[in-house]
Amino acid sequence: MIPSTKKDAKKGTGIQVFARFRPQNSIEDKNKGHEAIKFDKDEKTIAVMTPEKKNESQMYTFDKVFKQNSTQDEVYNLAARPLIEDLFSGYYATVFAYGQTGGGKTYTMEGKPKKDKDAEDLRGVIPRAVEHIFDRIESKSDESTEYTVTVSYVEIYMEKIRDLLDATNTKNNLGIRVDLQRGVYVDGATEIVVNSDLELLKILERGSHKRHVSGTSMNVESSRSHAICMISLAAKNVNDFTIKTGKLFLVDLAGSEMVRKTGATDQRLQEAKQINKSLTSLGIVIKTLTERKLNAHVPYRDSKLTRILQDSLGGTSRASLIIACSPSSFNLAETVSTLRFGTRAKFIKNKPRVHVGYGGTEAEELLRKRDEEISRLKEQIAALTDAADVVNKENQAFRSVYGELPPDAELTEEFKRKPKLPQQFQRAVEYCSILEAEVFAISKEAKLVRHATSEIRQHIVTQRDVFGEARHQMAAAFRAPECTEEMRGKGREVDEILAMARWRSEDVLKSLRPLERASLAIEVAAKDSKTFGGQYHNNNNNNN
């Protein structure tokens, strides 16, 4: 697809932050932990009791606070459902979970499969989002829209991006690229087209089994990597050939760790260092964004995680952050750190935009329609030119008979007081009024034509630049080592289409210039063709 973008009318949309607390676990019970959190009735504010000063507390406020008894459905409906709806409008959206090891991030994002129809639905954000997307597609009865869903799934392990959907298990160090149209993306990640929610969920399940997971003292199945699921939704309108592309990033971050509590050694210790390093980089990025210093450098490139999340943090994506917390005094320091992280994130402002574009064959069809529109405008301008010539000739004939009429300021009082103009002059005045109306109509039509050609010019210039950018990107793709000769052959065919489309865009722009000049000339000529019928018709009415 050859995309273009348009900015959202809503400027500076903030990241929504939700705090979710799990019940106290057996480790916390064993270490004599007690509940150190008090929940406010507004369900948005919490008080953290400080162990040093029992009568004092620290207050934190978020978009919503979920208590220990909150359900997966409640969390999804508030934190993720609105973003899924935005996908169908062409927005990028991100839902990510942050918190300490064992805080409930993976449970919130993935949950547990439903065992039978009567069991409690414990599925997390990801399976619910997948089901939601396909339910929306199936419920839309509009036959003018065709949907395509693709999925990619990667993890960041030890600062290397690994493809979890790669059947060959060779894509273990992928790169990150930035495109003006696509934004930030993982270069070379496997993309699979899916046709149902069950198919997509099976693919994600296979990918999840490849994630790096190991046991620590805090969590028997601790995620040792950041997992990022990317779901793209392309909605093609078969009438005007536009394609709206929404993209959903579902991110399960590895947990922040205190080594003295997790008991990590050797490989687990190295993993913990890399996890904490990337999460520290994430915190620095958020701190920089919220300080709002003029021209401040935001260090997105300090880690792979912050690079991938660049659009989600101060970029063009809508975003929800779920901070997973423990209510126990045993993990109070980690909980406070997590709450502070969420508080800072609230002040990040993103500028979402809609992603709309055209496919290759659709662009050809669009150019064909533009050619037809330009031909129609040429005929319209030719007709307007002929009409303007007729009006000018009639105006000249009138002036040759009656001469130039004096301006209103030079009319004598005696002439104004006459009860009735001579019959011959009266006919001339009426004739001038008719000519004046015709000139006004021609001027108005010429102005409309000029505006139409101007809009077409702007659109063609945009498309020409998009075609050029697409060729540039394709040339870069050809140089990639994984690009086969067969792929290059097919790519050359597409490149020829793009080259032809760009050439035709240039040709169309050349043909628009005389149209714009002609319509402007007609508009000016019509204004200069002054007849005084209306002016003196009014004087005559006043005298009568």
Among candidate residues 322, 301, 327, 445, the one with its CA nearest the CA of residue 380: 445
- C-alpha 61/C-alpha 407 separation (Å) is 74
Cβ count near 429 (within 10 Å): 21
For residue 533, say whether it is annotated as part of any ligand binding site: no
Q: Give φ, ψ of 55 to 5 degrees.
A: -90, 0
- C-alpha 411/C-alpha 542 separation (Å) is 14
DSSP strands (E only) in 158-197: 160-163, 175-179, 183-187, 192-194
The residue length of the chain stands at: 544
List 13's β-bridge partners, or say none. Answer: 350
For residue 103, say whether it is annotated as part of any ligand binding site: yes
- C-alpha 495/C-alpha 413 separation (Å) is 77
- C-alpha 61/C-alpha 64 separation (Å) is 8
- C-alpha 500/C-alpha 495 separation (Å) is 8
Radius of gyration of the chain (CA): 34
Six-digit token string for 326 = 């423990």
- C-alpha 406/C-alpha 403 separation (Å) is 9
Query: Which long-range contacts does 523-529 make (Cβ < 8 Å, 24+ apart)?
Result: 523/443, 523/446, 523/447, 523/450, 525/388, 525/392, 526/388, 526/391, 526/439, 526/440, 526/442, 526/443, 526/446, 527/443, 529/388, 529/391, 529/392, 529/395, 529/435, 529/439
- C-alpha 471/C-alpha 251 separation (Å) is 32
Residue 369, classed as helix, strand or coil, is: helix
Among candidate residues 309, 233, 310, 316, the one with its CA nearest the CA of residue 1: 233
Q: Give φ, ψ of 119 to 5 degrees.
A: -75, 160
By the 8 A CB rule, do 125 and 170 touch?
A: no
- 234's enclosing H/E stretch is strand 226-237
Six-digit token string for 20 = 């979710």
- C-alpha 274/C-alpha 159 separation (Å) is 7
For residue 5, say whether it is annotated as part of any ligand binding site: no
DSSP strands (E only) in 275-385: 318-325, 349-350, 353-358
- C-alpha 475/C-alpha 396 separation (Å) is 62
By the 8 A CB rule, do 152 and 113 touch?
A: no
The terminus-to-terminus CA distance of the chain in angstroms comes to 70
- C-alpha 233/C-alpha 327 separation (Å) is 38
For residue 100, say whether it is annotated as part of any ligand binding site: yes
For residue 101, say whether it is annotated as part of any ligand binding site: yes
The annotated binding site for ATP is made up of 99-106
The annotated binding site is made up of 99-106
